[in-house]
Amino acid sequence: MPSSIVELRSDTFTTPTTAMLAAMVGAPLGDDVYGEDPTVARLEERSADLLGKEAGCLMPSGTMANLAAIMAHAPRGTGVLAARDSDIYAYEAHGVSVLGGLALHPVETDEHGRPRPDSLLAALPEDADDPQFAVPAVVCVENTANRAGGVALTAAELATVADFATAHGMRFHLDGARIFNAAVALGVDPAELVRRADSVQFCLSKGLSAPIGSVVVGSADFVAAVRRLRKMLGGGMRQAGVLAAAGLVALDTGIDRLSEDHANARALAEGLAGVPGVEVDPVRVRTNMVRFRLIGSPLTHAALIELAAREGVRLAELGRGTLRAVTHRGVDAADVSRAVSTIAAIVREHSPVAV
Ligand SMILES: *Cc1c(COP(=O)(O)O)cnc(C)c1O
């Protein structure tokens, strides 16, 4: 077995930094269900500030953050529009339907992860006054768009969705699990990027490398509703300052360095582009994800994942016939080279016999 692992399955595998662990030990704490944890309060204010919103609420996970935000926007019996490829539609067990009483309408996206206007329109009821139809109350967009390969949608692209939401009396929720990756890749102020969104959730636990937590931001009234829903869903946390302390360090030290992850992802894609039998488009790699596939190889994706894992290189299947590699704080340039040479060797060894 190789002595070290190159973990490319997800940026969720990042572990807290030494500075985070030190901050967790020293953090002033209180009971946050009573609203008395000063470290949580600081993180919530800092998050709201960074994203230009009035208030924030710390959540145990991105899944609960999306659920509470959507429930706060949308009364039971209304509906939610979310990309078929999105986390909200594909990976959250349809919580908004099961727990929120909301119809979940899948929206088709183009290859860049942008909701297709015709698909947004198709989700609208023919006649909002006709009691036969459920009326959607919120539209969700993911940025970066994970299954599109970590695409960073621009403020202008998000404005198109915001205009659609406004025109049809809907709220706009941004699943910004990796919103800082998007802002860094685009070179824009995160607050400017999310300006048209009514609410945003972002994950502290992905590339920012905090151990646990997401934050929902939005207007003060909206965040008050989210706070009640968080308690209802079982997400009220007592001395949550231990998590918030790591989250504050993540915001202080984790955002600017995301450009390193993006450079490593680009290098990985460029390396893989030189491997016969691997199809990848390095130009499209702007954030920390590389989407690639095998062509003309007898290897299945599952077999490549298994063989690479034996060599200590961990990859993930993304579905739709693609593989995914995600860079993060735990992956450096040497790891990228090792991943490329490992994948190249496996593909070469299993290449069809030359004629
Ligand atoms: C990870 C992720 C979530 C969910 O976050 P958890 O903390 O894993 O529940 C939501 N949306 C997107 C786009 C994600 O990548």
Between 236 and 125, residue with greater pLDDT: 236
Nearest C-alpha to atom 6 of ligand 1 is from which residue?
A: 62
Cα distances (Å, whole numbers) of residue 200 to 17, 241, 321, 333: 25, 21, 30, 32
Answer whether residue 353 shows pLDDT above 80: no
Ligand 1 center to 200 CA (angstroms) = 12
Check residue 260 and give its pLDDT: 98
For residues 4-24, give the mean pLDDT. Answer: 98
Check residue 133 and give its pLDDT: 86
Check residue 134 and give its pLDDT: 85
Answer yes or no: are the C-beta atoms of 172 and 141 closer than 8 Å. Answer: yes
Per the listing, tokens 């972002």 go with 202
Mean pLDDT, the chain, as a whole number? 96
Answer whether residue 355 shows pLDDT above 60: no
Separation of alpha carbons 339 and 141, rounded Å: 32
Query: Which of these, 308, 248, 298, lies nearest to 272 by C-alpha position?
Result: 308
For residues 228-256, give the mean pLDDT. Answer: 98
Instruction: Write the pLDDT tens digit of every residue in 62-117.
Output: 999 999 999 999 999 999 999 999 999 999 999 999 999 999 999 999 988 899 99
For residues 255-279, give the mean pLDDT. Answer: 97
- Which of 70, 91, 153, 326 should be mutated for ligand 1, with most atoms under 8 A from CB? 91
Peptide bond before residue 15 is cis, with ω within 30 degrees of 0: no
| Residues with C-beta less than 6 Å from any ligand 1 atom | 61-63, 66, 87, 142, 146, 175, 177, 203, 205, 214
Check residue 132 and give its pLDDT: 87
Ligand 1 center to 145 CA (angstroms) = 11
Q: Which domains does the chain have, with CATH numbers?
A: 16-253 (3.40.640.10), 257-349 (3.90.1150.10)
Percentage above 70 pLDDT, the chain = 98
Task: End-to-end CA distance of the chain: give it in Å, rounded.
Answer: 34
Q: Give the ligand 1 atom nearest the CA of 176.
A: 13
Average the pLDDT over each of 107-121, 173-187, 265-279 and give the range with the smallest value: 107-121
- Which of 64, 96, 147, 175 should be mutated for ligand 1, with most atoms under 8 A from CB? 175
Hey, CA dihedral for 203, 206, 209, 213, is it positive or negative? positive
Nearest C-alpha to atom 3 of ligand 1 is from which residue?
A: 62
Separation of alpha carbons 63 and 60, rounded Å: 9
For residues 306-329, give the mean pLDDT. Answer: 94
Separation of alpha carbons 267 and 273, rounded Å: 10
Ligand 1 center to 1 CA (angstroms) = 31
For residues 157-177, give the mean pLDDT. Answer: 97
Ligand 1 center to 181 CA (angstroms) = 14
Confidence of residue 38 (pLDDT cuts 50, 70, 90): very high
